């Protein structure tokens, strides 16, 4: 019985690490589908997304198509939620994408405490 309990504890620990802890420390390439259906990995893709935006200089409509509806949309600035670092969302990460009048696009990730 003790052996079974140890295996169960090991499996539960592995699931917790893979599902809750690992996404906070890995960096992965941007994937449009993953961005939309599994927001938990948005922060892991944020560095790659910033690079992609700076390289491709997408339009407002292209950004909405790729990233979906933002949490805040000011037509010249789009803001997407990336992750909450604590239970009550007191410390969260966001990505802000600014669209310049000259067609330039800037993106940056920031933290709100």
User: Does the pLDDT value for residue 25 go beyond 80?
Assistant: no
Q: How many domains would you assign to the chain? A: 1
Spatial distance between the Cα atoms of 21 and 11, rounded to a whole number of angstroms: 15
Q: Grade residue 32 by pLDDT with cuts at 50, 70 and 90.
A: very high
Q: Can you point out the beta strands (E) in 41-99?
A: 72-73, 77-84, 92-99
What range does the domain containing 90 cover?
2-112
pLDDT of 48 reads 95
44 pLDDT higher than 80: yes
For the chain, give the percent of residues with pLDDT over 90. Answer: 58
Please state the length of the chain: 113
Specify whether the CB–CB gap between 2 and 22 falls below 8 A.
Answer: no
Greatest mean pLDDT among 17-26, 36-45, 68-77: 68-77
């Amino acid at each position: 019985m003790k052996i079974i309990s140890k295996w169960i504890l090991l499996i539960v620990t592995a699931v917790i690490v893979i599902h809750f802890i690992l996404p906070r420390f890995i960096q992965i390439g941007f994937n449009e589908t993953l961005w939309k259906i599994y927001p938990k990995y948005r922060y892991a893709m944020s560095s790659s997304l910033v690079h992609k935006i700076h390289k491709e200089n997408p339009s407002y409509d292209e950004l909405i198509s790729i990233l979906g509806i933002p949490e805040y949309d000011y037509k010249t600035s789009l803001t997407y939620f990336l992750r909450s670092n604590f239970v009550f969302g007191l410390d969260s990460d966001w990505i802000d994408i600014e669209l310049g009048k000259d067609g330039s696009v800037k993106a940056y990730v920031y933290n709100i405490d």
